[in-house]
């Protein structure tokens, strides 16, 4: 079942982690909630980039003569 889910969709579901982070932020004084929300966004961005498709590797110039 989980094998059929694309990695990009799975990472998008990870954005649901912002909901409890926002609830935590409203329940605590100070900047803890804001810092937690920023951390969730950074993790989401990193996973999104890591799981995004890469370009065509055949057209990369690796310094080798043709």
pLDDT in tens, 51-63: 777 776 655 555 6
Confidence class for position 1, pLDDT limits 50, 70, 90: low
Distance CA 59, CA 38 (A): 37
Predicted TM-score (pTM) of this structure? 0.60
**Per-residue b or e along 5-32, where b marks 16 or more CB atoms closer than 10 Å to that residue's CB:** eeeeeebeeeeebeeebeeebeeeeeee
Q: By percentage, how much of the chain surpasses pLDDT 90?
A: 0
Residues in CB range of 24: below 8 A, 6 or more apart: 32, 33, 36
Statement: residue 27 has pLDDT above 70? yes
């Amino acid at each position: 079942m989980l094998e059929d889910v694309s990695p990009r969709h799975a990472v998008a579901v990870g954005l649901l982690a912002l909901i409890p982070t926002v609830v935590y932020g409203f329940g605590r004084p100070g900047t803890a909630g804001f810092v937690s929300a920023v951390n969730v966004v950074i993790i989401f961005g990193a996973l999104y980039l890591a799981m995004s498709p890469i370009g065509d590797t055949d057209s990369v110039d690796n310094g080798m003569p043709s």
